[in-house]
Amino acid sequence: MNHLTVIALAAALLPWAASAENLFNGKDLSNWHTRKEDKGKDCWIVGTPSLHPGNAKLLSIQPAPEAIINVVTAHAQSWDLATKKKWAGPIRIELELMVPQGSNSGVYVMGEYEVQVLDSHGKDDKDMGAGDIGAIYSAAVPKKNASRRPGVWQKLIIDFAPPVFASEGTKKANAKFIKVVLNGQTLHENVEMQGPTPGGLTGREAGEGPLMLQGNHGAVAYRNVTIVPLP
pLDDT given at position 18: 62
What CATH number does domain 19-229 carry, 3.80.30.20, 2.60.120.560, 3.30.420.240, 2.60.120.10?
Answer: 2.60.120.560
What is the residue-level pLDDT of the chain in tens, covering all 231 positions?
A: 555 454 455 445 555 556 889 999 989 999 999 999 989 999 999 999 999 999 999 999 999 999 999 999 999 999 999 999 999 999 999 999 999 999 999 999 999 999 999 999 999 999 999 999 999 999 999 999 999 999 999 999 999 999 999 999 999 999 999 999 999 999 999 999 999 999 999 999 999 999 999 999 999 999 999 999 999
> What residues does each domain of the chain span?
19-229
CA 196 to each of CA 113, 199, 221: distance values in angstroms, whole numbers, following the listed order:
5, 9, 24
H helix runs in the chain, sequence order: 3-13
Say which DSSP state 201 is in: S
Q: Which neighbouring-strand residues pair with 60?
A: 50
Q: Please spell the DSSP secondary structure of 27-93, one letter per residue.
A: S-STTEEEE--SS----EEEEEEEE-TT-TTSEEEEEEEEEEEE--SSTTSS-EEEESS-EES-EEE
pLDDT given at position 1: 56
Instruction: Kindly report the pTM of this predicted structure.
Output: 0.92
